[in-house]
Structure 1
Amino acid sequence: MAVYTHVSAEALGQLLARYDVGDLVSSKGIAEGVENSNYLVDTDRARFILTLYEKRVDAGDLPFFLALLDHLADRRLPVPRALRARDGTQVQQVAGRPACLIEYLPGVSLSHPTPAQARSAGLALGQMHKAVADFAPTRPNTLGADSWAPLFTRCGRDLDAIDPALHDMLAEGLDATLPAWPTDGDRCTIHADLFPDNVLMLGDAVAGVIDFYFACTDLRLYDLAVTHTSWSFDATGTTCDLAVGSALLEGYAASYGLSPAERQLLPILCMGACLRFALTRAWDWLNTPANALVTRKDPLAYTRRLAFYRAAGAAPFA
């Protein structure tokens, strides 16, 4: 979440008038994240999230994302729906951007998840993968393995302005990962971004899963790999908590299943996940507008993770 586009109180009041949600009391921009502009909106009846979709989210993909949220919510998974206005529409125009007013879910996102909380996240991810078995729409992963080398080329030697060794570290990672990338396997709709800040917790229980705007059709186990890389390390990527990673896998295995053969695929999938986030973070670092209210993410936190998985091999997944 972030704020690139500023919304006036007048524009927000006009938006709320399209819904039966009450009158505006207050609004506040949310600075975390890098993708869309987000506001916490309070009316005299309830609290909501207003999301304005920025350049990386194609408005043509919104029907897929919103249908997925409805599908999961219909199956009683803790995901927030986009509200429908009085005329039945979910997507509005606000400040020249496509926008949705979204249900607010209680709970807190974690900076340092415990093994018990990681197990709950693994359970929730497995439940989501089961729930999408009959979800018919598909969307290609525009940030999947085929995109990493071209994005690396676009960044070029500018990467070394972030760290003098970054270009060569990523080149070595790509050479080690792409030739070994699985070409087949179980595919389904995946979240593709299940970081701790996209899971709302109440104690040790998952109260909400949010931010589905990278959701796509890809290898199911890649979703688990993305989650492992984000939950198992501290924010800098320096320290791996093996107990948290193991608990995450335990929860997933309990809700969906995880075979020995699938565990053997996880090291290369985790390396790929590290490359994906290191590359996109580097691109954002080099291209984020100076006046944007946004917290930039450190790409080196993912090159450190990449080095860990390259060295550790199968050990974290046994």
Structure 2
Amino acid sequence: MAVYTQVSAEALSRFLTRFDAGELVSAKGIAEGVENSNYLVETTRDRFILTLYEKRVAAADLPFFMALLDHLADKGLPVPPAIKDRQGVEIHELEGRPACLIRFLPGVSVSHPTPAQAQAAAQAMGQMHAALADFTLERPNALGPEGWAPLAERCGKDLDAIAPGLRGDVQKAVDRVLTAWPAGLPRSAIHADLFPDNVLMLGDRVTGVIDFYFACTEVRAYDLAVMHGAWAFDGAGKRFDAEIGTAVINGYAGAFGLSDAERAALPVLAEGAALRFFLTRAWDWLNTPADAMVTRKDPLAYWRRLEFYAAHGSALFA
């Protein structure tokens, strides 16, 4: 469940008076997601998403996220910018949390994407990268390579409670990936979390790219590596779908292009992406109470991806 902050009908009705958005008809909490509290809001004029930003999203980062969404929306991309109130303000406070009223986008997230859907989503990423070429704001990647060794150290010997001998294997993987991490590749603002549940589709058509709250300035091809790992494996990381993996690479390269240097770096970038999600999942697994409302995600699903990339990465991206 992802409704951590409850919003009463009375408080929401007062909130909506700041906007030219109509009067409240209904509001329903959205269970998907783990970072923020989200509501589907219907008014006499339209549908919206109300997002209240919980502790994992720093209020100081919201202007970057909103500016990025505005930039992409102005370029005609299917992203959900925040709605400005009558004074032109996007970021508000509701029930003690930073809050935004966000444009509703049609479509559904697919659980088992087809190659055609994967290719369309990768094309959307390529179009997004093209649109961000003149986006000048920057935000450091708080979950980037510089943080992997410290996070592994913080997890410490408790990693062996997830799987015997895992701590030593993780340290070796961190050392290997950081030693091989590429220098000099193009950097830009990236999504950094383009999982299937962050893409809305109608059939094979992308109708929305959402949830930019990990967006940051990073090696651009790392975004593609994150997407490859998220789309081309089953949820447990036990089965790799080569057809979908190829569709992701081809869709992106066809829409934006992929240099020889970027393609050559994809194996280690993919290992790094798998390591990032393994480590954050491991930390949550070890530090989230068993009775918490948030469902913990199995870190081993990304450890299996990392091992697969380490064994087969060069052949996958040739």
Q: RMSD of the alignment, in Å?
A: 1.6
Residue type of the alignment partner of 2:250: E
Residue of structure 1 in register with 2:117 after alignment: 117
1:130 aligns to 2:115 (yes or no): no
> Residues 252, 210 of structure 1: CA spacing in aligned structure 2 closer, same or farther, 3 A cutoff?
same
Give the Cα–Cα distance (whole angstroms) in 1 for the partners of residues 217 and 26 of structure 2.
37
Ranges in structure 1 where 5+ consecutive residues have no aligned partner: none
Matches within 5 A, 1:151-190: 151-190=151-190
> Residues 289, 181 of structure 1: CA spacing in aligned structure 2 closer, same or farther, 3 A cutoff?
same
Residue of structure 2 in register with 1:272 after alignment: 272
Query: Bigger shift: 43-52 or 241-250?
Result: 43-52
Instruction: Report the CA distance between 1:30 and its aligned residue.
Output: 2.0
Contact persistence 1:3–1:293 (CA under 8 A) = no
Structure 2 residue matching 1:223: 3-state secondary structure: helix
Give the percent of matched residue pairs that are identical in Structure 1 and Structure 2: 66
Matches within 5 A, 1:200-239: 200-239=200-239
Instruction: Report the CA distance between 1:292 and its aligned residue.
Output: 5.1
> Residues 292, 4 of structure 1: CA spacing in aligned structure 2 closer, same or farther, 3 A cutoff?
farther
Contact persistence 2:185–2:261 (CA under 8 A) = no
Contact persistence 1:81–1:102 (CA under 8 A) = yes
Residue type of the alignment partner of 1:144: G
Residue type of the alignment partner of 1:304: R
- Number of aligned pairs? 318
Contact persistence 2:185–2:262 (CA under 8 A) = no
Contact persistence 1:2–1:30 (CA under 8 A) = yes
Matches within 5 A, 1:86-97: 86-97=86-97
Structure 2 residue matching 1:314: 3-state secondary structure: helix
Give the Cα–Cα distance (whole angstroms) in 1 for the partners of residues 262 and 185 of structure 2.
9
Contact persistence 1:32–1:295 (CA under 8 A) = no
Q: Map Cα deviations across residues 247-273 of structure 1 (whole Å, 9 max, x no partner).
A: 111111111112333211100000000
Give the Cα–Cα distance (whole angstroms) in 2 for the partners of residues 51 and 93 of structure 1.
10
> Residues 13, 238 of structure 1: CA spacing in aligned structure 2 closer, same or farther, 3 A cutoff?
same
Q: Map Cα deviations across residues 215-246 of structure 1 (whole Å, 9 max, x no partner).
A: 11110010110010101001111101010010
Q: Given the two structures, how large is their TM-score scaled by the length of structure 1?
A: 0.95
Instruction: Report the CA distance between 1:165 and its aligned residue.
Output: 4.3
Instruction: Report the CA distance between 1:121 and its aligned residue.
Output: 1.1
Give the Cα–Cα distance (whole angstroms) in 1 for the partners of residues 289 and 60 of structure 2.
24
Give the Cα–Cα distance (whole angstroms) in 2 for the partners of residues 294 and 3 of structure 1.
10
Contact persistence 2:2–2:36 (CA under 8 A) = yes
Residue type of the alignment partner of 1:44: T
Structure 2 residue matching 1:15: 3-state secondary structure: helix
Contact persistence 1:190–1:220 (CA under 8 A) = yes
Give the Cα–Cα distance (whole angstroms) in 1 for the partners of residues 161 and 12 of structure 2.
40
Instruction: Report the CA distance between 1:7 and its aligned residue.
Output: 1.9
Q: Map Cα deviations across residues 175-224 of structure 1 (whole Å, 9 max, x no partner).
A: 22111111221001100001110010111111100001111111001011
Query: Bigger shift: 157-166 or 16-25?
Result: 157-166
Residue of structure 2 in register with 1:313 after alignment: 313
Residue of structure 2 in register with 1:302 after alignment: 302
Give the Cα–Cα distance (whole angstroms) in 2 for the partners of residues 36 and 158 of structure 1.
28
Contact persistence 1:143–1:276 (CA under 8 A) = yes
Matches within 5 A, 1:29-178: 29-178=29-178
